[in-house]
């Protein structure tokens, strides 16, 4: 069967990803961009991928398929290694040189406004990806120190800002139906719910490397190994996890072991918990997907304490690897959990999370993990995800050119 016009167009698209949420130790956004590069390289014969991100120095690396431009930018966090991309004129110089068919902006600040302005100036359509619901952090801070009037004012400012910015894009991608409806209620138009994905060839169950991984990490085979992967940041709600683990350790010392993979401002809390319990292992970052998959498989249970995750990519990877997840019910990521959530914590408290972890071990976690893996890998492979996203790219480019 001959290819459709859409398929012919897709194979020749040059896409530019532009974001400052990208660092040597960052998670979901970086993973999404890197997997898009792999999709372009391996699936699209005539496609190209251009990436513009902050870095230590201004440079370009890559080849005729995938190129990464870094723009020298100051550090704003020594732990997460995020940088503020302030040399906006260099963005336009790169876009003028590359002339992509479409620009995708992955953050909601000055870089997003530059993506819109440069796109219009160069006659290139720009789309936005709303990776995280950033107003929640501002509203939470205001709620902590001020009253209801201040919360209402902050909420109104955030609504107007989001509406003003994202309605300038040709469309906005959102990784959660609930969040998509929220943005639509806030007046954002042309919203598309899209998924993130998992490398179904790497994050797989059944590989007999559990014992070797535990031995390498010096974790007892007999311990109930709990795993957390992600930034050690306040907005990830990791303090609730650490307090829950302290409760579990106090109840039955040595029964549980916690492995944390990631870094951030809450690192001192992890190190204190390690010193206090002797049952905590910490790794600052894992850049090798195959090593990370082995770590997932070595764990008995993945614990995700987040209450404001827009998708929860690490929970998808854990399940794809055959390791069940437990957390706090009611977040945006509930829809990608493929095991029973009845035993999840019903409230955001250390006691509720500790009880939920304990209760999960009454189940056959191995069989539940295999079932979750089949669902996760079958429905959320990156190939499937990017096939859908590039269909939208095609429609945006075709509609813009008309």
Residue-wise pLDDT for 32-46, tens only, equals 999 999 999 999 999
23: confidence class by pLDDT, cuts 50, 70, 90: confident
- pLDDT band at 267; cut points 50, 70, 90: very high
Selection from 140, 85, 137, 87 nearest residue 107 by Cα: 85
Angle between helices 110-122 and 88-98 (to 10 degrees): 40
What does the pLDDT read at residue 21? 85
Only one residue has tokens 């709303």, namely 130
Whether pLDDT at 149 is above 50: yes
Contact 260/228 with Cβ under 8 angstroms? yes
* Topology alike, domains 5-197+381-401 and 210-379: yes
- The conformation of residue 83, written as its DSSP 8-state character, comes to B
Distance of CA 30 to the CA centre of its chain: 8
> For position 285, what pLDDT does the model report?
86
pLDDT surpasses 90 at 371: yes
Structure tokens at 181: 């409806």
| CB contact at 8 A, 17 and 49 | yes
Q: How far apart are CA 304 and CA 287, in angstroms?
A: 20
pLDDT digits (tens, 9 = 90+) for 5-19: 444 455 699 999 999
**Rounded Cα–Cα distance for residues 30 and 327 (Å):** 24
- Looking at the domain 5-197+381-401, which fold is it? Rossmann fold (3.40.50)
The 3 state secondary structure assigned to 335-382 is HHCCCCCCCCECCCCHHHHHHHHHHHCCCCHHHHHHHHHHHHHHHCEH
Question: Comparing 299 with 134, which gets the higher pLDDT?
Answer: 299
Is 20:184 a contact under the CB 8 Å cutoff?
no
So what's the architecture of 210-379 in CATH?
Answer: 3-Layer(aba) Sandwich (3.40)
Segment 57-86, tens digit of pLDDT = 999 999 999 999 999 999 987 777 889 999
Q: Structural domain boundaries of the chain?
A: 5-197+381-401, 210-379
Task: Give the pLDDT score at 2.
Answer: 37
pLDDT value at residue 3: 40
Identify the CA nearest to 302 among candidates 284, 286, 320, 285.
320
Residues 6+ apart with CB under 8 A from 168: 116, 126
Specify the pLDDT at position 376.
94
């Amino acid at each position: 069967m001959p290819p459709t016009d859409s398929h012919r167009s897709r194979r020749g698209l040059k896409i530019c990803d532009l974001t400052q949420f990208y660092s040597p130790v960052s998670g979901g956004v970086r993973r999404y961009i890197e997997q898009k590069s792999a999709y372009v390289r391996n699936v699209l014969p005539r496609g190209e991928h251009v990436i513009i991100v902050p870095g230590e120095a201004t440079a370009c690396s890559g080849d005729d398929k995938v190129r990464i431009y870094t723009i020298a930018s100051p550090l704003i966090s020594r732990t997460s290694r995020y940088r503020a991309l302030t040399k906006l004129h260099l963005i336009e110089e790169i876009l003028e040189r590359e002339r992509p068919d479409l620009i995708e902006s992955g953050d909601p600040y000055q870089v997003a406004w530059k993506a819109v302005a440069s796109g219009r100036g160069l006659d290139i359509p720009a789309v936005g990806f709303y990776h995280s619901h950033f107003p929640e952090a501002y509203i939470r801070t205001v709620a902590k120190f001020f009253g209801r009037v201040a919360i209402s004012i902050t909420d109104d400012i955030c609504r107007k800002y989001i509406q003003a910015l994202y309605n300038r894009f040709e469309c906005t991608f959102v990784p959660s139906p609930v969040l998509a409806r929220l943005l639509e209620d806030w007046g954002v138009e042309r919203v598309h719910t899209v998924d993130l994905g998992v490398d179904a060839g790497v994050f797989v169950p059944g590989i007999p490397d559990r014992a070797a991984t535990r031995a390498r990490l010096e974790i007892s085979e007999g311990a109930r190994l709990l795993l957390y992967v992600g930034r050690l940041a306040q907005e990830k709600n990791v303090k609730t996890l650490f307090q829950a683990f302290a409760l579990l350790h106090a109840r039955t010392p040595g029964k549980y072991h916690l492995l944390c993979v990631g870094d951030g401002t809450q690192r001192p809390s992890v190190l204190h918990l390690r010193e206090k319990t002797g049952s905590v292992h910490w790794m600052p970052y894992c850049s090798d997907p195959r090593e990370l998959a082995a770590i997932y498989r070595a764990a008995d249970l993945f614990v995700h304490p987040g209450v404001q995750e827009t998708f929860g990519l690490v929970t998808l990877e854990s399940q794809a690897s055959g390791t069940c997840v437990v957390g706090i019910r009611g977040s945006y990521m509930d829809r990608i959990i493929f095991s029973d959530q009845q035993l999840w914590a019903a409230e955001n408290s250390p006691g509720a999370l500790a009880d939920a972890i304990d209760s999960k071990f009454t189940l056959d976690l191995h069989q539940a993990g295999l079932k979750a893996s089949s669902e996760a890998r079958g429905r959320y492979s990156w190939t499937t995800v990017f096939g859908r996203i590039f269909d939208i790219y095609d429609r945006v480019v075709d509609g813009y050119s008309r």
